[in-house]
Structure 1
Amino acid sequence: MADKTYPWKIAWITGASGAICGEVARRLADAGVQVAATARHSERLDALAASSPNIKSFPADVQDIDGLKACAAQVTAELGPIDLALLGAGIYVPFDIRNIDAGGFGETMALNVDGVLNGVGAVLPAMLERGEGHLAIMGSLFGYAGWPGNGGYGASKAAVINLAESLKLELWGTGVDLTLINPGFVDTPLNASYDPEKKLFVISKERCARKILAKLPKRPYEIAFPPQVEIFLKTVRNLPRAVSFPLVRWFIKATGA
């Protein structure tokens, strides 16, 4: 049984072998939440499951919709109805305009967008039938505005943000809540290939998990951080392009980002 720290009994987390979702899984488990950890089978997933009796491994590929539906059904059969589904599988592939990697772009979209949509499709029907549940989708602040070297990842997260907005409108009155989680740069292996000098206000995975779990129980539409990056990118998004493009170029030159 979960203690009073969090309102969920059963949490299903995709991308659980990743740094952020793995940290969230451990913190939920420490608070007594039963965590179903899903990712492709790996030593990291096994290690996560071995770290707590409240974490159980349910290997699956988020790009396999039928397999993911079967996985969600197995979680429900073994642990109980899924109260919280945190859909966090993702990838970052560098984007070089002088050497466009169409394969990397496609892989990014497939995992970051299709993987989220497949997760929604696997868990949402049961939540709607029960009239309760909580979807949490991992986006990124860099889905709000274009950024050099970020063409594939940013495009995928822009799609996730639009998907979340659409879902939120349609879920109104159903008893199912949706939270979009939009971090800035987090110090994880996911974006290790990104130039360290260009990571704005980078935070640790531990701090990221703390920020997510501090707000997620209140079921807000969006959890976004750090505030400096959130304010800048959302402001840029809403400015005329004749202003926003020079502003971004100035900001990059001024900060070395």
Structure 2
Amino acid sequence: MADKTYPWKVMWITGASGAICGEVARMLSAAGVTIAATARPSERLNTLVAQSERIKPYPANVLDPAALKETVARIEAELGPIQLALLGTGMYAPFDLRNIELDGFHRSMTLNVDGVINAVAAVLPQMLARKTGHIAIMGSLFGYSGWPENGSYGASKAAVINLAESLSLELHNTGVDLTIVNPGFVDTPLNAAYDPKKKLFVMSAEKCARKILAKLPRKPYEIAFPREVSVFLKTARCLPRAISFPLIRWFVKNLQS
């Protein structure tokens, strides 16, 4: 990626120690972008930072709004204005209909939704004041439609997609752009507990990061892939449930990869 140039000098990533965001950080740092990497203190964050002098650690808990605001202020004081924020903190909790694990559901909703809006609240005021900036939020294709054994994760990502739609409508003509990134199944530790037989069109974290970075500089509202799953779930979302529910069951049963 070193021969590739990007329009950003300073980027903030939350969930930087995760598989996808970590790949994005590595690729962009190799291309000359300075990365402010935020995650809870961990060996994974230390390992990421050690891979490039352009990746700077800014550990923080995304569930602490005050700490995030202080983190953004420090980043901008030390590195310069944040031009792109990739909000990627998230978790997956298994969902068993016959034994609903409430703690996992509540933690998923809290981290995947509150973690996003806390980061938006921390970085957006400065972008609005400058009348320039770009926020990218990690969603999921499975926020578009219900999916078997995916009640916790899918519900949280549906909330994130709705939030992104609302923010995008309000950000019109402010100079600040918003992108929702909706991948399908990615081979990461995040969803390792999900039934492998139901992971359709699985891709590597590296391939996912490359797909994101191929489109993100154009500031689209949405980046969604793989196409097969994206088109199917968006179509299912619009169909009457008497049609979409049997279709999804058929899809899961017959198009396993």
**8 Å CA contact 1:141, 1:184 repeated in 2:** yes
1:93-104 aligned at under 5 Å gives the runs 93-104=93-104
Unaligned runs of 5+ in 2: none
- Distance (whole Å) between structure 1 residues aligned to residue 52 and residue 248 of structure 2: 44
Percent identity among equivalent residues?
71
- Distance (whole Å) between structure 2 residues aligned to residue 237 and residue 226 of structure 1: 17
Q: Deviation digits for residues 167-224 of structure 1, max 9, x if unmatched?
A: 0000000000000000000000000111111100000001000000000000000000
**8 Å CA contact 1:13, 1:86 repeated in 2:** yes
2:5: which partner in 1? 5
In structure 2, the CA distance between the partners of 1:185 and 1:104, relative to structure 1 (3 Å rule), is: same
Superposition misfits of 4+ residues, deviation over 6 angstroms? none
1:18: which partner in 2? 18
Unaligned runs of 5+ in 1: none
Return the offset for 1:89.
Answer: 0.3
- Distance (whole Å) between structure 1 residues aligned to residue 251 and residue 134 of structure 2: 37
* TM-score, length of structure 2 as denominator length: 0.98
1:152: which partner in 2? 152
1:240-255 aligned at under 5 Å gives the runs 240-255=240-255
1:119: which partner in 2? 119
1:165-244 aligned at under 5 Å gives the runs 165-244=165-244
2:137: which partner in 1? 137
* TM-score, length of structure 1 as denominator length: 0.98
Give the number of equivalent residue pairs.
256
Return the offset for 1:101.
Answer: 1.0
SS at match of 1:85: strand
SS at match of 1:12: strand
1:43-82 aligned at under 5 Å gives the runs 43-82=43-82
Return the offset for 1:56.
Answer: 0.4
**8 Å CA contact 1:3, 1:33 repeated in 2:** no
Return the offset for 1:228.
Answer: 0.4
Q: Deviation digits for residues 82-136 of structure 1, max 9, x if unmatched?
A: 0000000000000011111111111000110000000100000000000000000
Return the offset for 1:252.
Answer: 2.1
**8 Å CA contact 2:199, 2:256 repeated in 1:** no
- Distance (whole Å) between structure 1 residues aligned to residue 39 and residue 179 of structure 2: 21
Return the offset for 1:4.
Answer: 7.0
2:32: which partner in 1? 32
Q: Deviation digits for residues 228-255 of structure 1, max 9, x if unmatched?
A: 0001100100000111111112222223
- Distance (whole Å) between structure 2 residues aligned to residue 130 and residue 149 of structure 1: 43
- Distance (whole Å) between structure 1 residues aligned to residue 190 and residue 178 of structure 2: 24
**8 Å CA contact 2:200, 2:256 repeated in 1:** no
In structure 2, the CA distance between the partners of 1:98 and 1:48, relative to structure 1 (3 Å rule), is: same
- Distance (whole Å) between structure 1 residues aligned to residue 63 and residue 72 of structure 2: 14
In structure 2, the CA distance between the partners of 1:79 and 1:3, relative to structure 1 (3 Å rule), is: farther
* Cα RMSD for the two superposed structures: 1.3
